[in-house]
Structure 1
Amino acid sequence: MRRKPRTSGLWLACALLACSCFAAAGDLDESPRHHVIIIEGMRFNPPTLTVHRGDRITWVNKDLFPHTATANSKAFDSHSVASNASWSYTAHRSGSYAYVCRFHPTMHGNLIVQ
């Protein structure tokens, strides 16, 4: 009678190791996300937003008049965003970016990119 080699324990160990490697890689793989800032009532909502590099941020203007989202550092500038329109920006560099509406300087926001 011929005996089969004992490989089931080794196969199980390799399978468990492979699964744990895939799970760890999946935890590290964060796909870019999409965030929305609503412009309404002369405010940016949320006023402060934290995102990751590669994420896309869209400002949606729900006011009756145009606004901008203009970074003080000049990192981004939406130019005029008409009523019921939107503008998107993809965050590429880490940092904290204070921004305002150039038409209404009392409107302030902050974008934090990690």
Structure 2
Amino acid sequence: MVVTSLAGVSNAVAKTYLIVIEQMRFDPPVLIVHRGDRVMWVNKDLFPHTASAMSKAFDSREIAPSASWTYVARETGSYPYRCTLHATMRGTVIVQ
């Protein structure tokens, strides 16, 4: 028998949010999530992109065309990020 302690765990179920990379931009450009939620970037462009937090909290490395990358939001805060391959592509994930 396996017993799992749920002390300190909220009743909220983690959600998965989608950010689409397409036409040289992140959509939506600003996303608000909660701790424990997943953020998935899906690259629908014809070339690779990255989702790299300025604070270095996360870094997808290159996401190939038709591929995705997922990040689990563990710490609250505002996380501006960019594509390191295309300087004009920027977004923000806010973790509450």
What's the TM-score, normalizing by structure 2?
0.89
Q: Which runs of 5 or more residues in structure 1 are unaligned?
A: 1-27
Question: Quick one: distance in 2 between partners of 1:57 and 1:111?
Answer: 9
1:55-105 residue CA offsets vs partner (Å, 9 max, x unmatched): 000000000000000000000000000000000000000000000000001
One-letter code of the match for 2:20?
I
Given the alignment, which residue of 81, 91, 101 partners 2:63?
81
Please, which runs of 5 or more residues in structure 2 have no aligned partner? 1-9
Superposition RMSD in Å: 0.7
1:41-52 matched pairs, under 5 angstroms: 41-52=23-34
Indicate the percent of aligned positions where both proteins have the same amino acid.
Answer: 59
- Off by >3 Å, runs of 4+ in structure 1: none
| Structure with more relative contact order (C-alpha pairs < 8 Å, separation 6 or more) | 2
Which structure would you say has the larger Rg? 1
TM-score by length of 1: 0.75
Task: Report the structure, 1 or 2, having the larger helix content.
Answer: 1
| Paired residues, number | 87
